[in-house]
Amino acid sequence: MTETTGRTEGARRAGAGIGRETLAKWAPLLVLLVLCAVFAVMEPRFLSTRNFARILIAASPALMVAIGVTFIIIMGSIDLSMEGTVSVCAVSFAFCFLWLGGTLASWAWLAIPIAMLVGAALGFVNGLIHVKLKIPSFMASLAMGFVGTGLAMVMTGGDRIRIEDELFRALLTQRILNFPLMVYVAAVFLLIAWFIQTRTTLGRNFYAVGGGEDLAIASGLNVNRVRIMGFTLAGVFFSVGALLAVGRIGIAETATGNNFMFLSITAVVVGGTALWGGIGGVWNTLVGVLIVFVIGNGMVVIGLPGYVQDGVLGILVILAVILSTNRKTISFVK
Digits of tens for pLDDT over the chain (334 positions)? 444 444 455 445 545 555 666 766 788 888 889 888 988 888 888 889 999 999 999 999 999 999 999 999 999 999 999 999 999 999 999 999 999 998 999 999 999 999 999 999 999 999 999 999 999 999 999 999 999 999 999 999 889 999 989 999 999 999 999 899 999 999 999 999 999 999 999 999 999 998 888 888 888 899 999 999 999 999 999 999 999 999 999 999 999 999 899 889 989 988 888 888 888 899 999 999 999 899 888 888 877 776 777 777 777 777 766 766 555 555 555 5
Annotate 13-73 with DSSP letters as a single string.
Answer: HHHHHHHHHHHHHHHHHHHHHHHHHHHHHH-GGGGSHHHHHHHHHHHHHHHHHHHHHHHHH
Q: Which residues contact 214 (CB under 8 A, 6 or more apart)?
A: none
Torsion region of 174: left, alpha or beta (phi above 0 gives left; psi -120 to 50 gives alpha): beta
Dump strand ranges (E) for the chain: 161-162, 175-176, 179-180, 251-252
pLDDT tens column, 193-220 = 999 999 999 999 999 998 888 888 888 8
Q: What is residue 251's three-state secondary structure?
A: strand
Torsion region of 307: left, alpha or beta (phi above 0 gives left; psi -120 to 50 gives alpha): alpha
- Give yes or no for a contact between 172 and 108, defined as CB atoms under 8 angstroms apart: no
Q: How far is CA 190 from CA 220, 249, 282, in A?
A: 30, 22, 7
* The pLDDT of residue 135: 92
d(CA 223, CA 132): 12
Q: What is residue 157's three-state secondary structure?
A: coil
Hey, how many other C-beta atoms are within 10 angstroms of the C-beta on 19?
Answer: 10
Q: What is residue 90's three-state secondary structure?
A: helix
- Give yes or no for a contact between 266 and 284, defined as CB atoms under 8 angstroms apart: no
* The pLDDT of residue 121: 96
pTM recorded for the entire structure: 0.89
